[in-house]
A = this chain, B = another copy of it.
Amino acid sequence: MINVGVLGATGAVGQRFVQLLADHPWFHLQTLTASERSAGKPYGRVVNWRLDAPYPDRVSDIVVTPTTVESLKGCDLVFSALPADVATSLETEIADAGIAVCSNARSHRMDPDVPLVIPEVNPDHLGLIDVQRDRRGREGFIVTNPNCSTITLTMAIAPLRAFEFHDVRVATMQAISGAGFAGVAAMEIYDNVVPYIGDEEEKIETEIVKIMGTFDGSEVSPASFQVSASCHRVPVIDGHTMAIWVDVKESIDEVKKVYATFKSPISNLPSQPAKAVELLEQPNRPQPRLDRNRGRGMTVSIGRIREGLRFIALGHNTIRGAAGASVLNAELIYSKKYL
């Protein structure tokens, strides 16, 4: 078993990490960090648990430690649910201390020697770990997963690599959990749509071309298509829905076939869903409340493929789009012997 920790374990994404890791077959959850105020107390006492699935008993007694390098003694790998301003320097310190970091923070995603990975899309980019170790002269390393909306979009676009395309447009309808427990006031979003999410469009537009870029053994050349995003918050708890246009020239049937026959390049990872993408044929799907939990929240659903080429994609933003993405990355890292 690999000993793991969660940085920022009491927040929205931190709780998802705890839920996914509590009974993990490969990873032993031993360390939970939080603010100084919570340090020294059992997790069960300090966490304001907000997930509707039952609270995992085993972790209730883990004594929370401060979010510092010193707290991570004995961890082989840590998951970071830290805000970007804290993550930037601390994740570097942790990697310098020889520990592997799987981060959901945005801080290092675009660093040239840091892999930005979705296992079903660009598992080969993990090769940047060696580049990173070499260049920085350390055993530890940082691997990142994309922003929640980037993940759903990228998983929806990746199967289309078989075809040529240059122009992607996406209008997102994003869930409130994407902003954390306190990120959106009820008075802001109830009976409302907020057509703006800070930096979200930029993240989508830059991250996807790195992920779908080509790794030549030393660096990643970004993919050559362009993405234009319009991001909106809607009154939905979990699940980002997206209306997507791509300028592929192939027929609807050819495109459907690509989704229906998509084969994941990875296998045998515990958090991996049976289907990375699932094509739904009903005319009014996918819908967040009905489809976000497919594949235990790890499947991206595709539907309404129409000429244009237009279609709808949906992914669970705090599972596939955050904590689950990081855990799947860690499983890939472990299976590829980087630990």
* A-to-B contact residues, CB < 8 Å: 12, 49-50, 52-54, 169, 171, 173, 176-177, 180-196, 228, 230, 232, 234-237, 241, 243, 245, 283-290, 292-294, 303-304, 308, 310, 312
Which of B169, B171, B184, B312 has a CB less than 8 Å from the CB of A187? B184
| Chain B nearest CB, measured from A5 CB (Å) | 25
* Residues B283 and A196 in contact, CB atoms below 8 Å apart: yes
Q: Known: A287-B193, A289-B52, A312-B195. Is A176-B187 also a contact (CB below 8 A)?
A: yes
* Residues B192 and A287 in contact, CB atoms below 8 Å apart: yes
* Residues A173 and B234 in contact, CB atoms below 8 Å apart: yes
Which of B52, B232, B245, B287 has a CB less than 8 Å from the CB of A290? B52
* Residues B290 and A50 in contact, CB atoms below 8 Å apart: yes
| Chain B nearest CB, measured from A242 CB (Å) | 9
Q: Known: A190-B237, A193-B241, A243-B195. Is A230-B185 also a contact (CB below 8 A)?
A: no
Q: Known: A182-B185, A186-B186, A195-B284. Is A234-B234 also a contact (CB below 8 A)?
A: yes
Docked Cα-Cα span, A237 to B50, in Å, equals 17
Docked Cα-Cα span, A230 to B244, in Å, equals 9
**Which residues of B are found within 8 Å of A177, using beta-carbon distances?**
187
Which of B182, B191, B293, B310 has a CB less than 8 Å from the CB of A190? B191
* Residues A190 and B186 in contact, CB atoms below 8 Å apart: yes
Q: Known: A289-B52, A312-B230. Is A173-B185 also a contact (CB below 8 A)?
A: no
Docked Cα-Cα span, A169 to B245, in Å, equals 9
| Chain B nearest CB, measured from A170 CB (Å) | 9
Q: Known: A169-B245, A186-B184. Is A191-B236 also a contact (CB below 8 A)?
A: yes
**Which residues of B are found within 8 Å of A236, using beta-carbon distances?**
191-193, 235
* Residues B181 and A287 in contact, CB atoms below 8 Å apart: no
* Residues B193 and A308 in contact, CB atoms below 8 Å apart: no
* Residues B237 and A191 in contact, CB atoms below 8 Å apart: yes
| Chain B nearest CB, measured from A20 CB (Å) | 18
| Chain B nearest CB, measured from A149 CB (Å) | 14
| Chain B nearest CB, measured from A35 CB (Å) | 18
* Residues B184 and A289 in contact, CB atoms below 8 Å apart: no
**Which residues of B are found within 8 Å of A187, using beta-carbon distances?**
12, 50, 176-177, 180-184, 237
Q: Known A-B contacts: A185-B185, A192-B287, A196-B284. Give 16 more (CB < 8 A).
A: A49-B290, A50-B187, A169-B245, A171-B243, A181-B187, A181-B188, A183-B185, A183-B187, A190-B237, A191-B288, A191-B289, A192-B236, A193-B234, A228-B245, A228-B308, A230-B310
Which of B169, B195, B228 has a CB less than 8 Å from the CB of A286? B195
**Which residues of B are found within 8 Å of A184, using beta-carbon distances?**
185-187
Measured CB to CB, the nearest residue on chain B to A176 is B186
Docked Cα-Cα span, A243 to B241, in Å, equals 14
**Which residues of B are found within 8 Å of A193, using beta-carbon distances?**
173, 234, 236, 241, 287-288
Docked Cα-Cα span, A176 to B192, in Å, equals 12
| Chain B nearest CB, measured from A163 CB (Å) | 18
* Residues A228 and B310 in contact, CB atoms below 8 Å apart: yes
Measured CB to CB, the nearest residue on chain B to A241 is B193
Measured CB to CB, the nearest residue on chain B to A283 is B196
